[in-house]
Chain A
Amino acid sequence: MCTMHVLLVEDNPADADLTREAFESGRLRVDLSIAVDGVQAMELLKQEASRAGGTTPDLILLDLNLPRKNGRQTLAEIKGDDALKHIPVVVLTSSDAEQDVTNSYALGANCYVTKPVDLKSFQDTVSAVEDFWFSIVRLPHDTRNHSQPADGTDRAARIRC
């Protein structure tokens, strides 16, 4: 089984714990890194991008309201950086404001997901994000095995590991 590398940018420890638990209970092995603000997230990403043979995350989960450097600024920097812009960014935030939604898409967010308040819904949402991005979507720079079965039925296996 392959491991997916996810960077979660989240300053709320309770939400970070919940996200980690949701990934741990999922089918895939997810290696979760956590940055607690935008400054730390950009440092991590730049280190990984510059390190020889280093691997940038397969997916970034980004909160919008963060200390030091907020999510909008972090998103703009990721999508303005040629070494990072290909990484899908899922905005995961409690904000339901239309301006935040439209602005995030305009800045290059790959999708925008609002955090449900209810615990079970929160976990379901994280699982839905995991299923879609790691089983349905083809991610960039995916060096894992892509052997194609002739009947095309084993979709998840074909796309991922």
Chain B
Amino acid sequence: MKAIHVLLVEDNPADADLTRETLEAGKLHIDLSVAIDGEQALQMLKASYAAGTKPDLILLDLNLPRKGGRQILAEIKADESLRHIPVVILTSSDAERDVAQSYTLGANCYITKPVDLRAFQSIVAAVEDFWFGVVKLPVAGEPARADP
């Protein structure tokens, strides 16, 4: 089975671990990369573009050191080689302004992180089920095949 490549941009190691564990417990083979801030995320995206291994989906926190999630979102959605990749905002912010601004900047959907552990896991599982089970993803986001 071909692996699905997800880039998680998250500075909180506990949230990153929880997301990884939930994705690993799912039915699908998911290859998760983690960037801990916006600068690193953009570097990884540019490197993956050059290598032909762009992620199929990006999970993006909003409050990040160095370069915030809003700025990364804006840069991804303004970049013709990246803008087709779905970006799911996964943040603790419940502020209406953050929600509206994220959609306006081109976020594909906005999800608030539940505080409760099990609710957090069920949210990550729901994202996985919907985006990899119901939705059709762009082929250009597929990881490059290992053999020609």
Interface residues of A (CB under 8 A from B): 82, 85-88, 96, 98, 101-102, 105-106, 108, 110-114, 125, 128-129, 131-133, 136-142, 146, 148, 151-153, 155, 158-159
Interface residues of B (CB under 8 A from A): 80, 83-86, 94, 96, 99-100, 103-104, 106, 108-112, 114-116, 118-119, 122-123, 126-127, 129-131, 133-140
Docked-complex contact A136 and B104, CB < 8 angstroms: no
Tell me the smallest distance from the CB of A103 to a CB of chain B, in Å: 8
B136 cross-chain contacts in A, Cβ below 8 A: 96, 101, 112-114
| A-B contact sample (4 more), CB < 8 A, given A82-B104, A101-B138, A102-B139 | A112-B137, A128-B134, A146-B94, A152-B119
Tell me the smallest distance from the CB of B7 to a CB of chain A, in Å: 16
Docked-complex contact B112 and A138, CB < 8 angstroms: yes
Tell me the smallest distance from the CB of A112 to a CB of chain B, in Å: 5
Partner of B103, one of A88, A98, A132, A155: A88
Tell me the smallest distance from the CB of B87 to a CB of chain A, in Å: 10
